[in-house]
Amino acid sequence: RILGHQVSVGALIELAMWLAIPYLLIGFAWTVFHPEQTQRIQARIEAVSPTGADAMAFGLATALWPAALQIADACPAP
């Protein structure tokens, strides 16, 4: 019965946006409280693209915060 309920694409997009807000807020807090992992990611990005590496590392750590520990461990120590 629930699976037969029609949902519009706009409603699904709205739901995704509402779910993204707490996810990104948690990611922002994680990035602020774990600067050493963000710096390791930044060092790896600087080898490829030195321009804006700090902003890219911050955005990457914020957006991918559940995997940020594994990403930082894969990066060499500065």
pLDDT, tens digit, for every residue of 8-55? 999 999 999 999 999 999 999 999 998 988 888 888 888 888 888 999
Residue 6: enclosing H or E segment and its boundaries?
none
SS3 17: helix
CB contact burial 48-76 (16+ within 10 A = b; e otherwise): eeeeebeebbbebbbeebeebeebbeebe
**pLDDT-derived band at 75, boundaries 50, 70, 90:** low
Compute CA distances 17 → 26, 35, 39, 47, 52, whole Å.
Answer: 15, 27, 29, 33, 27
* pLDDT of 78 above 60: no
pTM of the model: 0.74
